[in-house]
Amino acid sequence: MRTLFPEINPNQTFHLDVGDSHQIYVEECGNPDGIPVVYVHGGPGGGSSPMHRRFYDPEQYRIIQFDQRGCGKSTPHCADDINALFSNTTQHLLRDMEQIRAHLGITSWVVAGGSWGTTLALLYAIKFPSVVKALILRGVFLARKQDLDWFLSPKQGASQIFPEYYRDFVRGHDIESVDSEDYDATQEILESYHEKLTGDNDFEQLAAAKQFMNWEGRIVSVNYQQSAPAMSKHEAIAMSLLNTHYFTNDGFIYESEIISEIAAISHIPGYIVHGRNDVVCKPEGAFTLAEHWPNGVLEMVPAAGHSSTEPGIIDGLVRASQNIAKFLNEKDQEK
């Protein structure tokens, strides 16, 4: 089973002014002359991580990471300044990726991502297919209504598998038990959290952020936990606030946009690595994507959940990056 590549430090870091008063943190690691790969973090609001560099052979790849608007080391940060939510939509993030590519002088690159990062990676490839060499996706999230309901609804999905954890998640939020097609419990939950997260009470904001993140943190790994992994105040607020900001707005995309537009990337090769026991992003999404994407190779990892730190997921991602590097190098030699 493959493991992560050794720890490496960035070759350079900088902030890129993308307009709208946003400065995006960007870092570059690995071989400056290698295959460019950009890793798109999850969340929304997850931020980049030193671990994400380690899915790629630093001798083969030029590894780029960035922090999306409002989180990580990008400024303004939504935990400090609510203005970070302004000019912060999916379309803005896709344009930011293009600005980063152009700034770095990259003609085309491999686009990789996890969870929400797969949403952005796929939308980016659909919008800019000519600059995408390949895709490497982990824990696919198609951002459909059914995906949000699976994760957040009281009547289906994760709440039915972890009812005691879900009870803690909705405690203090007035979610009605209404059996009506007109009542959207998922949106009610998101709006209730968003109201607390954007209010003037700092104590209530932090408590809501921790409560929100505790739900995902307890179920993210196949080794389910009584308590979520530790997270800083800034990380918890960024993740929860950007989650509710994006998903009260349906991810700023139309329903089933990725599958509807998937023909645009039919020629692009890629790998889909998804945990068989993923209860955050349901495996059906990865299967449906593979069914509609002829050049996408799906690997359902047994005994794995949603976390990128699980051994089977790491093995699948490292193997995918090695296979893509081999494929692209052989393709270049044929020219």
Catalytic residues: 115, 278, 306
Closest CA to 18 of 103, 145, 143, 78: 103
Cα gap 244→179, rounded to integer Å: 24
Residue 180 has φ and ψ, to the nearest 5°, of -145, 140
Closest CA to 141 of 45, 264, 258, 308: 258
Tokens of 155: 């009547």
**Cβ neighbours of residue 136 under 8 Å, at least 6 residues apart?**
37, 55, 110, 111, 112, 113, 270, 271, 273, 317, 320, 321, 324
Q: What is the DSSP string of 248-303?
A: TTGGGS-TTHHHHTGGGGTT--EEEEEETT-SSS-HHHHHHHHHH-TTEEEEEETT
Name the 3-class secondary structure at 141.
coil
Name the 3-class secondary structure at 10.
coil
Sign of the Cα torsion 40, 42, 47, 48 reads negative
| Residue 147 and residue 285 in contact, taking contact as beta carbons nearer than 8 Å | yes
| Residue 151 and residue 169 in contact, taking contact as beta carbons nearer than 8 Å | no
| Residue 52 and residue 39 in contact, taking contact as beta carbons nearer than 8 Å | yes
**Cβ neighbours of residue 182 under 8 Å, at least 6 residues apart?**
none
Q: What is the DSSP string of 88-123?
A: -SHHHHHHHHHHHHHHTT-S-EEEEEETHHHHHHHH
